[in-house]
């Protein structure tokens, strides 16, 4: 498995290199001059030309690209055109916020989706099965922005149970250590702040988890139905094993691989930045960070952000592939 892992990691290098080339070409095709956007509509031509030279945007594109690759190889993501600050330092708080939101959302999606799919398969063609699959279909179809607004109206405005927007209480801000607020509050032993951070996570996490939850539930149900028709499952039931152990120990173990694939893909998609969710709930995530960078034609930020997201996505797929061998001993990665 070690050789397979090393080969997979090495194979990611040309993938990420190709990604940088494609992204570089696309973002430079976006209409608009970064210097003009930064200085505003009333800026003089001389000021725009001066800023363009300072930013290095007057050089040929191939030189700009090779300079970017050169700095990237050394671990430097470059500087933002808008803030002039190093992207390495700027992007992590936004990425940490998205990672925390994604993790919370996927925990909800997996716990609810997997168990709903299992119970639907266990009691197939029952009222629970029909209800769960209808809700799953609705979950996939619901617009995220509408669901987010309804959550805010119901649980924040009407009931007052949960905060409407943001990541923390602005009157009692979290002192950032890792920028993962759940971890930071635990490190400092501040239970009140920890509970407050969890409250801020609940509504955006539920909104973000809706689609993955529905997809996971439907996939779990279909794979479980197929496995539960197998001879060894009928044999286990004939031996008198409790239905709970038959389902969760035998059936789920053999049906989990397609579900793991879906979970990995959905996690990668959410880490890419749920712009609508982050915008509605005022969540300072990487999706909003990149969206604002596109508005300012901040080329280095866009390039670096997409590259990081792509790297995380392919690494998640690698982790899922390795989990296959742990779940099913018949899968070997020796060659």
Pick the last residue of a domain from 48, 73, 98: 73
Pick the last residue of a domain from 43, 73, 103: 73
* pLDDT score, position 334: 61
* DSSP-assigned beta bridge partners for residue 86: 79
Would the CA dihedral through 32, 33, 34, 38 be positive or negative?
negative
134 shares a domain with 36: no
CATH number for the domain harbouring residue 291: 1.10.3720.10
Structure tokens at 134: 């209808």
Query: pTM of the predicted model, to two decimals?
Result: 0.81
In the chain, how many domains are there? 2
177 shares a domain with 116: yes
255 shares a domain with 123: yes
Going residue by residue through the chain (335 aa), what tens digit of pLDDT does each one get? 667 677 777 777 788 788 788 888 877 777 766 776 666 667 677 777 777 777 677 777 778 788 778 877 777 777 787 777 888 888 888 888 888 898 889 999 999 988 888 888 888 788 888 888 888 888 778 788 888 888 888 888 888 888 888 888 878 888 888 888 888 888 888 888 899 989 989 999 988 888 888 889 888 888 888 877 777 777 777 777 777 777 777 777 777 888 888 888 888 778 765 777 888 888 888 888 888 888 777 778 888 888 888 888 888 888 887 777 777 666 666 65
Closest CA to 303 of 41, 125, 61, 4: 61
Residue appearing with tokens 């439907």: 218
| Close Cβ partners of 112 (under 8 Å, ≥ 6 residues apart) | 209, 213, 217
Helices (H), 123-143: 127-141
**163, part of any domain:** yes
* pLDDT score, position 107: 92
* pLDDT score, position 174: 83
**H/E segment holding residue 1:** none
Phi, psi of 328 (to 5 degrees): -120, 105
* Residue 45 · residue 53 · CB < 8 Å: no
* pLDDT score, position 164: 85
- Report the C-alpha dihedral over residues 54, 56, 59, 61, rounded to 10 degrees: -160
* pLDDT score, position 333: 62
* pLDDT score, position 223: 86
Residue 144: which domain range? 90-327
Phi, psi of 42 (to 5 degrees): -90, 5
DSSP string of 100-119? HHHHHHHHHHHHHHHHHHHH
30 shares a domain with 156: no
202 shares a domain with 63: no
40 shares a domain with 156: no
Q: Each residue of 299-325: b (16+ CB within 10 Å) or e?
A: bbbbbbbbbbbbebbbebbbebbebee
Structure tokens at 230: 């197998």
**221, part of any domain:** yes
**82, part of any domain:** no
152 shares a domain with 17: no
């Amino acid at each position: 498995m070690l050789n397979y892992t090393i080969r997979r990691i090495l194979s990611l290098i040309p993938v990420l290199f190709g990604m940088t080339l494609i992204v570089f070409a696309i973002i430079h095709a976006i209409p608009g001059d970064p210097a003009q956007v930064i200085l505003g509509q009333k800026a003089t031509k001389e000021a725009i030309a001066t800023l363009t030279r300072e930013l290095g945007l007057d050089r040929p594109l191939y030189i700009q690209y090779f300079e970017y690759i050169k700095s990237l190889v050394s671990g430097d993501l470059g500087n933002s055109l808008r803030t002039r600050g190093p992207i390495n330092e700027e992007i992590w708080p936004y990425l940490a916020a998205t990672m925390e939101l994604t993790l919370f959302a996927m925990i909800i999606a997996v716990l609810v989706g997997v168990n709903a799919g299992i119970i639907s398969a266990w009691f197939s063609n029952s009222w629970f099965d029909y209800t769960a699959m209808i809700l799953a279909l609705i979950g996939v179809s619901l617009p995220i922005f509408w669901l987010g607004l309804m959550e805010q109206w119901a649980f924040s405005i009407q009931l007052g149970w949960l905060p409407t927007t943001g990541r923390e209480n602005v009157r009692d801000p979290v002192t950032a250590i890792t920028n993962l607020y759940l971890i930071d509050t635990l490190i400092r032993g501040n239970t009140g702040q920890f509970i407050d951070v969890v409250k801020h996570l609940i509504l955006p996490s539920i909104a973000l988890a809706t689609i993955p939850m529905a997809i996971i539930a439907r996939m779990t149900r279909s794979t479980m139905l197929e496995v539960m028709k197998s001879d060894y499952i009928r044999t286990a039931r004939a031996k008198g094993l409790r239905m709970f152990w038959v389902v969760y120990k035998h059936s789920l173990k053999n049906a989990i691989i397609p579900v793991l694939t879906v979970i990995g893909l959905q996690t990668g998609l959410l880490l890419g930045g749920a712009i609508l969710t982050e915008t509605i709930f005022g969540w300072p995530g990487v999706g909003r960070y990149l969206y604002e960078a596109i508005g300012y034609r901040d080329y280095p930020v866009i390039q670096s952000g997409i590259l990081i997201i792509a790297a995380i996505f392919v690494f998640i797929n690698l982790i899922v592939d390795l989990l296959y061998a742990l779940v099913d001993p018949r899968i070997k990665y020796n060659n």
